[in-house]
Structure 1
């Protein structure tokens, strides 16, 4: 049995991973921005508890995580969708996302460093906008590229604790992509060498692998069916 904290575990892939590990019998704590929702989701999936953590408010993170105990696995999956073109630049939106994804992620690790141990492992969430940006991905592409730098420096600073990142491609059954028109998804499937889009189960499996394999460190793992080759 492992102790697991999933930051950003109330929806999407974060929730699926928290559910997967709770059903496997691990001691799972999850976080979300809203305390009642975090508590509700924790009860629904069989996690120990849910707590409120807002990654965009890094000064409050340490206090919010004070009750978390010794950790084997830490997954930071909190994300925010951002549509921000450089031609119509929203500075406040950019500052929020940069703070959430880079400062917030780092502060979570900083706040929990005394509860990690030599055998602990961390997985951060990036995304493939860093490789295939689109109009409006100005900030998203930047912060996801920054996750790679963060992985490297944390792996050095925290050694022997392992730190890796997962970069999902288009996850066809995620709430975000399920809401897209079928013709959009069909076009994306034709651009993917496997002929299928990644699933949340695929990403969950990838995260679990990164946490379990003791020789995988400072790796950025793409989960996209080869979509980047399209």
Structure 2
């Protein structure tokens, strides 16, 4: 089985790539920088290849993905955070994130679709900012909400290939969150019914569930320990 992880050189994407390689998949992981993608791929035990592409350049994605390999599992995990308020709106930053997350995600699937069989599956990443916005999240909240619509449309258009999305909450041991100042994570834990934040392993487990359970389709999975109900 071959798994492609878009955005697989760091953070959760890298953990997904490591896990899929450890279970015996051939893995193709991608990042923006060719040297970095090759270096990370070489560091992962198993049959792993690094590939350079930039979701912000959707016109170049087909050429970047022009290998002859088949794709059984596709994980589109590449993200970018944008602090952008309406009062101080940066159009260029907003446009970049919308292109990356919505146009880029869709073009990756378009480019790889001829190499995906009827039993293939796709998982895309959204986020809980779509439900709980914060100051400066106007673009992040919008594009993560767009992922929901994208899941529904694609699950219909490319059936029987399954399409799902995972929306993590605060992932406490991820590189982004683990370096926060003392007290920041504790405040989130205190508002989480489970008394613990999601971990990268929790997210990897969720990705596996969406990829492999053949009855799960057009589903948006929330992994946040019930944080949104508080």
Task: Determine helix, strand or coil for the equivalent of 2:87.
Answer: helix
Whole-angstrom distance in 1 between the partners of 2:6 and 2:216: 21
Greater mean alpha carbon deviation, residues 55-64 or residues 38-47: 38-47
Question: Per-residue deviation at 1:48?
Answer: 2.2
Segments of structure 2 that go 5 or more residues without pairing to the other structure are none
Give the corresponding residue for 1:152: 152
The two structures have a TM-score, normalised by structure 2, of: 0.98
Give the corresponding residue for 2:118: 118
- Which whole-Å deviations, capped at 9, do the CAs of 1:125-152 have from their partners, x for residues lacking one? 0000000000010100000000000000
Q: Pairwise CA RMSD of aligned residues?
A: 0.7
Greater mean alpha carbon deviation, residues 30-39 or residues 68-77: 68-77
Note the 1:198-209 alignment, pairs <5 A.
Answer: 198-209=198-209
Give the corresponding residue for 1:141: 141
Whole-angstrom distance in 1 between the partners of 2:14 and 2:227: 24
**Do the aligned partners of residues 50 and 68 (structure 1) sit closer, same or farther apart at CA in structure 2, a change above 3 Å counting?**
farther
Runs of 4+ in 1 over 2 A off after TM superposition: none
Task: Determine helix, strand or coil for the equivalent of 1:87.
Answer: coil
Task: Determine helix, strand or coil for the equivalent of 2:50.
Answer: strand
Whole-angstrom distance in 1 between the partners of 2:117 and 2:151: 17
Give the corresponding residue for 2:225: 225
Question: Per-residue deviation at 1:68?
Answer: 5.0
Tell me whether 1:34 sits opposite 2:24 in the alignment.
Answer: no
Tell me whether 1:64 sits opposite 2:64 in the alignment.
Answer: yes
**Do the aligned partners of residues 15 and 29 (structure 1) sit closer, same or farther apart at CA in structure 2, a change above 3 Å counting?**
same
Segments of structure 1 that go 5 or more residues without pairing to the other structure are none
